[in-house]
Copies of this chain bind each other. A is one copy, B any other.
Amino acid sequence: MKPDYLAAIKQFYGKAKRLPSYSEMLDLFGLSSKNAVHKIVHKWIEDGLLKKENSKLAPTGKFFALPLLGMVRAGQPILADENKSYLTLDEYLIDDPSSSFLLKVRGDSMVNAGIFEDDLVIIDMKRSALSGDIVLAEIDKEWTLKYLKKDKNRIYLEAANDKYPPLHPKKELKVHGVVMGVIRKFRS
């Protein structure tokens, strides 16, 4: 049974958020020669898992991203080598980390948009909101998650649930952020 060096270094990166040095890999892999490590790393670089960037080791997307498969109806969903695609959820969903945050959803006003209670939505505070966007808004001092709509010259909010009527602001309507995406966990 050969030791799985790749699993070991991935686990290290997962915990430390950095790659180990060669010396650390000696311990990690249970080896005693840096040359052995050097060869292993060299192979990973050739495989495109790692790369040398400014003469320092860094992971590529392939190293820690997940493969993305397409569903082929009535066939096995396979990721052909040619059009392989990998992505990390953070990169996929978050455009600007410095202006984004997550919000745990309360209420059922957006169920028709597929946003349920306890889902997490990613909010970008710097994005300019377009009509039709789902936004985090403050309408007459009340905060809520709704569709932003424009009717002639008036701006108002609309739920994605027939139970709730459209909301027209009496005094003011502030948009605090645009909902970029939603994530929901089924199992833990």
| Chain A residues with a Cβ under 8 A of chain B | 7, 10, 14, 16-19, 21, 24, 53-54, 56-59, 64, 66-77, 79, 87-90, 92-95, 97-98, 100-107, 111, 114-116, 119-120, 122, 124, 127, 133-134, 136, 138, 142-143, 145, 178-188
Contact = CB atoms under 8 A, between A and B. Distances in A.
Interface of A: prevailing SS: mixed
Contact of A74 (B54, B66, B143, B179): B143
Contacts of A79: 101
A102 to B, nearest CB: 5
Contacts of A76: 138, 143
B58 A18 contact: yes
Contacts of A138: 76
Contacts of A24: 54
Contacts of A7: 98
Contacts of A17: 58-59, 64
Max count, chain B CB within 10 A of own CB: residue among A59, A134, A182: A182
A115 to B, nearest CB: 8
Given A18-B56, A143-B71, A102 B66 contact: yes
